[in-house]
Amino acid sequence: MQKIDGHTRLCGLIGNPVEHTMSPVIHNTLAAMEGRNLVYVPFHVGTGQARKAVEGAYALNVLGLNVTVPYKEEVIAYLKETDAMAKQIGAVNTLVRTQGGYKGYNTDMMGLYRAMCAEGIKLEGEEVIILGAGGAARAVAFLCAWKKAARIYLLNRTLEKAKRIAEEVNGMAGRGAAAGNGAGKVEPMPLEDYREIPSDRKYLAIQATSVGLYPKTKEAPIEDKEFYQKIHTGFDLIYRPSQTRFMSLVRGQGGRAFHGLKMLLYQGIIAYELWNGTEIPQEDALEVYETMKTEMGIEE
Ligand code: NDP
């Protein structure tokens, strides 16, 4: 544990709830590894208190904040500046102290990308199915489009939300021209219409709903084995539990499956790098990952 003195810098997490977060493990481990005089603390911020929390943190000279549910969209209004990519996604999860206020970033998207690269999963030219159209799915859809996936099926229980994301992603500057014959487009669909996805090819499926999240670990957004026969790789954003029902269903049909803990690791690493102007070597990132797994009591 870092000795706390008059030079200690403070970073933290605001959200509600924050009690089960793994982020302190990421940042306090990194600070200890680097010998940096920094501590990271979660702050439970009650309803209606987000503005005060952001302004108060700035007044207290807090170096940086992570932002989680339900404040990722709301806090944008309280920032001095928002990074272009975060603005497009419409959500921030990292606030970086600048002259006169915080600048907002979205490190979830790049965190997912780094996690996928680390697992050897590529997006370019890939046929992708995204399940969900909430905040996380939105970042995933932008990432897939940005990394030039060949086709993106966006399935959600509430079709309207999938349509809204599709409109925004497909409408990105220059995208219409780049997409040409319709390849690379986001196609919104109701979740129950998954059978309409062509079965003459295999897909990368990204599970971005909250179905299967602890404690409802026996649930998956789609149960039908036929759906999972179409999947060569399944990436679940959920990491609690580390083996979700979605992952079991993918593996049951011969696909590879991953949980979301590495995404969490890398969104944290990127935030830490932004706050401290440093670059974390890959072997240090993997050491932090081992600490996270130990903390969660998992091996895989
Ligand atoms: P949101 O609440 O914004 O979205 C939830 C999504 O789940 C919506 O698409 C919703 O559909 C869908 N959903 C919820 N219940 C059901 C149901 N019973 N049947 C079908 N669909 C359902 O959450 P987020 O986007 O913020 O997070 C989604 C998941 O991603 C969470 O489990 C979260 O833990 C995880 N996550 C992981 C991260 C990581 O670093 N690994 C980072 C961020 C998120 P509808 O629109 O119809 O309500």
Ligand 1 lined by 130 (C-beta under 6 Å): no
Q: Which residue has the CA at smallest separation from atom 7 of ligand 1? A: 209
Q: Which residue has the CA at smallest separation from atom 36 of ligand 1? A: 237
- Greatest C-alpha distance within the chain: 63
Residue 179 has what pLDDT?
Answer: 47
Distance CA 42, CA 17 (A): 10
By three-state DSSP, how is residue 40 classified?
Answer: strand
CA 62 to chain centre: 23
Distance CA 51, CA 297 (A): 36
The yes-or-no answer on residue 52 being catalytic is no
- Supply the DSSP symbol for 280: -
Residue 178 has what pLDDT?
Answer: 47
User: Which atom in ligand 1 lies closest to the alpha carbon of residue 132?
Assistant: 9
Distance CA 170, CA 261 (A): 29
Cβ-based neighbours of 22, under 8 Å, separated by 6 or more: 261, 264, 292, 295, 296
Residue 182 has what pLDDT?
Answer: 56
8 Å CB contact between 210 and 134:
yes
**274: which 2 tokens?**
């932004």
Residue 175 has what pLDDT?
Answer: 54
**171: which 2 tokens?**
């409408």
Q: Tens-digit pLDDT profile for the chain (300 aa)? A: 668 999 999 999 999 999 999 999 999 999 999 999 999 999 999 999 999 999 999 999 999 999 999 999 999 999 999 999 999 999 999 999 999 999 999 999 999 999 999 999 999 999 999 999 998 999 999 999 999 999 999 999 999 999 999 999 999 845 544 444 556 799 999 999 999 999 999 999 999 999 999 999 999 999 999 999 999 999 999 999 999 999 999 999 999 999 999 999 999 999 999 999 999 999 999 999 999 999 999 988
Cβ-based neighbours of 259, under 8 Å, separated by 6 or more: 236, 238, 239, 241, 242, 243, 244, 247, 300
Cβ-based neighbours of 31, under 8 Å, separated by 6 or more: 2, 37, 38, 39, 40
Residue 105 has what pLDDT?
Answer: 98
The reported pTM is 0.94
By three-state DSSP, how is residue 39 classified?
Answer: strand
> Measured at the alpha carbon of residue 81, what is the angle toward residues 79 and 83, in degrees to the nearest 5?
120
Residue with tokens 């789609």: 222
Residue 67 has what pLDDT?
Answer: 98
Q: Which residue has the CA at smallest separation from atom 16 of ligand 1? A: 211
Residue with tokens 């493990």: 25
Ligand 1 lined by 159 (C-beta under 6 Å): no
For 48, phi then psi, to 5°, come to 80, 5
8 Å CB contact between 67 and 94:
yes
Residue 50 identity: A
Ligand 1 lined by 208 (C-beta under 6 Å): yes
8 Å CB contact between 205 and 137:
no
Ligand 1 lined by 158 (C-beta under 6 Å): yes
